[in-house]
Amino acid sequence: SEFEEERRLKGFREEGKLALEDARECLQEGNVDDARTALKKSRRLMEEGRCVEEFQDELTRMELLVAERIESKDWRRRSAACLQEAEERLDKALRSEVTLRKRLLEESVELSIKCKVMMEHVQEVDMKRRLEELTVRIEEAVDRTDKILQLEGDLDEAKVHLEKGNMEIAANFLSRAEQVGRESGLEHRRE
């Protein structure tokens, strides 16, 4: 009976060590979920085999590593979702009329900042590159939209002053609109 108990404990110990090895292999392959499952199995088997203390350091180290990888995976997933939302918002903004575009671009800027904060927890180079490209596209779109709004505002002011007969003021607004159009490469109408 004592021999049977010793054999039973030894079996649990061996199975626990095998499960720990499985966890290590899963982690090396990047399969975090299976690693977590194997670690739980290993700990349970080692508890049955009354040998947890012997492997406590390695179990704890592996559990912390798995938890870290799971957290990183979660940050990566959340960052990817945020990045995609910001890209979609930018695309929608660029297809919208100018006044709506301004608001949508501001939302895109806020989302890109949120993405940047999330990405501090992510090591994925491709996502960081996409975020940098998105940030540049947003900044360019914001600048271009501001120029369009300024150009349209100057043209509207020129039109108002033309109707009132204030030719000199109208000419100043037209001149400014022309300069904005030239500097930003925007086509504008001459009235």
Split into its structural domains, the chain has a count of 2
Out of 57, 73, 89, a domain closes at 73
The answer as to whether 191 is a domain residue is no
Whether residue 79 sits in one domain with residue 69: no
* 187 band by pLDDT with thresholds 50, 70 and 90: low
Out of 73, 103, 128, a domain closes at 73
Average pLDDT over residues 60-64: 92
User: Could you say which DSSP state residue 96 is in?
Assistant: S
Range of the domain at 120: 75-184
Q: Which residues contact 143 (CB under 8 A, 6 or more apart)?
A: 184
CB-based contacts of 130-135 (< 8 A; 24+ apart in sequence)? 130/83, 130/87, 131/83, 134/83, 134/86, 134/87, 134/90
What is the pLDDT, as a whole number, of residue 5? Answer: 87
Whether residue 45 sits in one domain with residue 82: no
The answer as to whether 190 is a domain residue is no
What is the pLDDT, as a whole number, of residue 186? Answer: 66
What is the pLDDT, as a whole number, of residue 15? Answer: 93
Whether residue 172 sits in one domain with residue 95: yes
What is the pLDDT, as a whole number, of residue 34? Answer: 94
Over 70: is that where the pLDDT of 18 sits? yes
Pick 191 or 131 by higher pLDDT: 131
CB 128 within 8 A of CB 79: no
Note the pLDDT tens digit of each residue in 100-114: 888 888 888 888 888
Note the pLDDT tens digit of each residue in 70-87: 888 888 888 889 889 989
Whether residue 45 sits in one domain with residue 91: no
